[in-house]
Amino acid sequence: MKTEIKQLLESVKNGIMTVDEALLQIKTKPFEDVGYAKVDLHRKARQGVAEVIYGAGKTATQMIGIIETMQRNGQNCILITRLSPTAADEIREKVSLRCFPEAHIGIIGEMPKPDGIGKIVIATGGTSDIPVAEEAALTAEVLGNEVVRLFDVGVAGLHRLLSHLDDIMNASVIIAIAGMEGALASVIGGLADCPVIAVPTSVGYGASFGGLSALLSMLNSCASGVSVVNIDNGFGAGYLASMINHMEAK
């Protein structure tokens, strides 16, 4: 993925922008201090993706201030994760916000067109894992990826997963999301020729320990090429999948 600095350098090289114009943009303050938050304005230039707002623990007023700061500095599409319905209603009074309650996601601005090298497949063990899957899927879509959703394809009925072999074989990255014993990631890891990101969920009965059982199963997977993010961390999985799906030859 091309960063803003690389694009600036290419603009100078191609005569679209002068050296002084490019230098002025690079020298723009790297963050803006709004008192309760230091909004990172150079995140996109450094990492290729602008800052994302983590909604849990923030008031609606704080988030509105952060959003207005981002918009004032040219960020067109803003992602808010772990957004409560109450905060969403308050933010909607000030800003045009699309809410996805199941995923606890809020999106401001237009979704970008997919520009990744392939498709990200998101598979869940069961229907109960869909909220985490939707957090991953919407994150990946906001970051410019085409997403294929395969819900309820867990190992309790393996034929359901095997009916989607074409999707699995053609994916550039797969996110495997499961609670209980978390076996889905190992099964997919044994089938796919692309990176697999495993997401343990807190779905399960008492001995699943709120997702710890699935986390340990995924960490101990014997399938090569499986990496693991934290319990219920759909955002982290979607973000990492997007980075993989936008890799360029160095």
User: Residue 125 sits in a domain of what CATH number?
Assistant: 3.40.50.1970
Query: How confident is the model over 220-233, as a mean pLDDT?
Result: 94
Question: Is 186 found in the same domain as 234?
Answer: yes
Residue 3 lies in a domain: no
Question: Rounded to a whole number, what is the largest CA-CA distance in the chain?
Answer: 64
Last residue of a domain, one of 77, 108, 139: 108
Q: Domain tally for the chain?
A: 2
Residue 72 lies in a domain: yes
Residue 213 lies in a domain: yes
| Calpha distance 229→250 (Å, rounded) | 26
Question: Is 188 found in the same domain as 97?
Answer: no
Q: Is pLDDT of 99 > 90?
A: yes
pTM: 0.85
Residue 12 lies in a domain: no
Least confident of 21-30, 32-41, 107-116, 132-141: 21-30
Taking only the tens place, the pLDDT of each residue in 63-77 is 999 999 888 887 889
Residue 39 sits in which domain range?
21-108
- Among the listed residues 164, 192, 175, the one whose alpha carbon sits nearest the alpha carbon of residue 242: 175
| Calpha distance 186→55 (Å, rounded) | 32
Contacts of 96 (CB under 8 A, 6+ apart): 108
DSSP 207: G
